[in-house]
Structure 1
Amino acid sequence: MEKHAANTAGRDFFVGDIHGQYDLLMEAMQRVAFDKKVDRLFSVGDLIDRGADSFKCLSLAFEPWFYGVRGNHEMLALNALEQGGKHWDLWLANGGTWALSENIKEVKQILGEALRHLPYFREVELEDGVRIGLVHAEPPHDWSEIEQADTEQLVWGRTRIKQRDDSPVANIHAVIVGHTIIERPVALGNVLYIDTGAFHTGRLTLIDAREVFQ
């Protein structure tokens, strides 16, 4: 498990699905006066697809201030580039066409390296001992079982939000997720959804970790 101790030097932020909207991210960071030397940015995944700057956004995985988890779009790309065929068609149909104007060999190489920095989940501690989990789509009902969780659920799951299930995830204070587009950030139990559809709404949610419980 990727665990992050409290950031005593700066602030922590969570950002929704970026989907190639590099400029939107830079604007959002500028608005909060993000300091790359001491602040940390935690991403719920889907750095790529649907946006023209997907390659640039994939490279965020290598920044020392950026901590992402992998989303279903990173997995779509991986399957497409490794297996081709129907996986390739599926990726292109879901926003992977940006790769056609890049060097495909290079995209495959950078994606492979980026995924080493994009685990399925992370856990962030705040200064008061509060622990916040991070997955792309859907956490298990008990955070202590995250290591054994079904990875399909972590990157593709939508059961909780479809059923409006507001039962809290046990053994964690809150979990931040993306994947499902909502108009504005919404909490179901202690799970906070922050994907506001940046690629078609132009709204990218960036939230200060201290505001998660407000």
Structure 2
Amino acid sequence: MGRDFVVGDLHGQYGLLMEALDRVAFDKSRDRLFCVGDLIDRGDESYHCLSLAFEPWFHAVRGNHEMLAYRALVEEKGADYFLWLENGGTWVFKQDKQHLRQVLAQALQCLPYACEVPVGNSRVGIVHAEPPADWSDVESEDEAQQRMMVWGRSRIERQDQTPVQGIDVVIVGHTIVKSPVWLGNVLYIDTGAFLTGRLTLLPLDDVIHRRVG
């Protein structure tokens, strides 16, 4: 009914997100917001950001930090618990751990590995870290493929401009960039909000126009 936006990794920056939405007069009754994942960790408002997963106007894919937290709290993998704390999970100490465990498990059911959004005559895909070479492979249940979508960085490390097949545009986060950058038809939008205070929020219409233009 309204406009579609995409936002980079939140990492607990709930206040920054609300300010960004206010600047574009985001209407929660009409507009939709898509997020590239990593809602939590490194920021004090991680619980508020995790709770966004239950909002009807908010749609996100899962990031590596959601997976770290899930393995630490829900699956109770001891080594992963300390790894999570080392990577920004210390906000757990301000929460009821049992309640957070339940919320996290429920939230992850709302966070797929990938999503696709129609924008006019174009198709926009979203994953957290790295898309497969062919977009149809996002439906694969292969663990290595899923891990790549959540953790991968090989494309940006190689500066690989090869387009992802079967999709017009893919938007990702995970790797911090100074400003949004294109590699082929893949757009990286994590501008490190928890470090820089800059949270990238883009209308999907503009993403398509820039790619086509």
Find the counterpart in structure 2 of residue 126 from structure 1.
119
- Asked whether the equivalents of residues 113 and 138 of structure 2 are also in contact (C-alpha less than 8 Å), the reply is no
Instruction: In structure 2, list runs of 5 or more residues that go unmatched.
Output: none
After the TM superposition, which parts of structure 1 deviate over 6 Å for at least 4 consecutive aligned residues? none
Find the counterpart in structure 2 of residue 3 from structure 1.
none
Find the counterpart in structure 2 of residue 136 from structure 1.
128
Find the counterpart in structure 2 of residue 177 from structure 1.
172
Amino acid at match of 1:117: C
1:209 equivalenced with 2:204 (yes/no): yes
The 3-state SS of whatever aligns with 1:124 is strand
The 3-state SS of whatever aligns with 2:25 is coil
Cα displacement (A) at 1:84: 3.5
Cα displacement (A) at 1:188: 0.2
Instruction: Show the 5 A alignment for 1:71-150.
Output: 71-81=63-73, 82-127=75-120, 129-148=121-140, 150=145
In 1, Cα distance between equivalents of 2:68 and 2:93 = 15
Moved more, 140-149 or 72-81: 140-149
Amino acid at match of 1:107: L
Find the counterpart in structure 2 of residue 166 from structure 1.
161
Task: State TM-score, norm by structure 1.
Answer: 0.94
Cα displacement (A) at 1:183: 0.4
In 2, Cα distance between equivalents of 1:133 and 1:25 = 21
Match of 1:61 among 53, 68, 84: 53
Number of paired residues? 205
Cα displacement (A) at 1:146: 1.6
The 3-state SS of whatever aligns with 2:132 is coil
Cα displacement (A) at 1:101: 1.1
Amino acid at match of 2:59: Y
Match of 1:37 among 21, 29, 40: 29
Instruction: In structure 1, list runs of 5 or more residues that go unmatched.
Output: 1-8
In 1, Cα distance between equivalents of 2:171 and 2:45 = 24
Q: Over aligned residues, Cα RMSD in angstroms?
A: 0.8
1:47 equivalenced with 2:39 (yes/no): yes
Cα displacement (A) at 1:145: 1.8
The 3-state SS of whatever aligns with 1:59 is helix
- Asked whether the equivalents of residues 190 and 199 of structure 2 are also in contact (C-alpha less than 8 Å), the reply is yes
Question: Aligned residues: percent identity?
Answer: 61
Moved more, 45-54 or 84-93: 84-93
